[in-house]
Amino acid sequence: MKQITIGTRKSTLALIQSEMVKKYIEDHNPEVEVRLLKMKTTGDKILDRRLDQVGGKGLFVKELDKALLDSRSDLSVHSLKDLPMEVSDKLPVLAYSKRADPRDALVLPIGASELDLSKPIGTSSRRRIVQLAVLYPEARFESVRGNVQTRLNKLDAGEYGGLVLAAAGLKRLGLDNRISRYYEPEEILPAAGQGILAVQGRAGECYDYLKGFADEAGTFAAQSERSFVRELDGGCSSPIAAFARVRDSQIYLTGLYCDEEMKDVRKGEISGPADMACELGIRLAKRLREEV
């Protein structure tokens, strides 16, 4: 029996997402046995500083990439929003999943029915902060790191008035009941790739067992959103957002871009054939950059 190893972070959410890919492979390839190689990444260990202060999103994939390069694993599964924009040609993205709920969500302390703005909103994302400040001009924001359950424990202990987290992650963890409200993309544009899983592999290998996993709409959305952010050199700390809808072979991309001081915020839209996803993302990025 052919054996496949998926490299994954040890967090509960990462394991759930890797199990989704594992199940797909096994359900569609009875002759394949899949196991998980669980790793604690550098990003999981450093919790007292924002990611942009310690090396960015690459800290969540460094160990997984090394395992792929060393052939200790055959695949890695990532939340696409956490995958660095620049990916090595040696470790290409093999497939993008169907998109889950792309929205951000507000989580309140247990028992609370309204957001208490006398306490800070917990988020480490400048993308979220610049957009939340429009909705809540009087709000304060404080960084919060750790896995979802760690963040919820801090919230329920009274450290924050609320948290803003990705709805997809909460739902995959079975924590829908903690969501107090959703922020529509018109209110808060999601991170590029939010709600999409990326399966990464090694160049030159055969991955026939993944056939059918990739979702066309998810792929076009991922390509346009990531090309938009890449063109703007956006890292994990940059207040940049992108969200694409795919309908009837057309793609409708909305992007947000602002300067490093988070003062001059620009938002724009572009549409066109879905198979021009990357080009459209680049076009919109150039347009917004020239406006600032």
- Three-state SS string over 20-75 comes to HHHHHHHHHCCCEEEEEEEECCHHHHCCCCCHHHHCCHHHHCHHHHHHHHCCCCCE
**How is residue 135 annotated by DSSP?**
H
Contact assessment for residue 198 and residue 77, using Cβ atoms and an 8 Å cutoff: yes
- Taking the mean position of all CA atoms in its chain, how far away is CA 73? 22
Rounded CA separation 289/267 (Å): 10
* 104 catalytic per annotation: no
Pairing, β 141-142 against β 32-39:
unpaired
Catalytic residue (one of 44, 82, 101, 215): 82
**How is residue 19 annotated by DSSP?**
H
With 0-12 / 13-18 / 19 or more C-beta atoms within 10 angstroms meaning exposed / middle / buried, residue 12 is middle
Which three-class secondary structure state does DSSP give residue 185? coil
Rounded CA separation 30/38 (Å): 23
Look at the chain and count its residues: 292
Contact assessment for residue 240 and residue 292, using Cβ atoms and an 8 Å cutoff: no
Q: Known catalytic residues?
A: 82
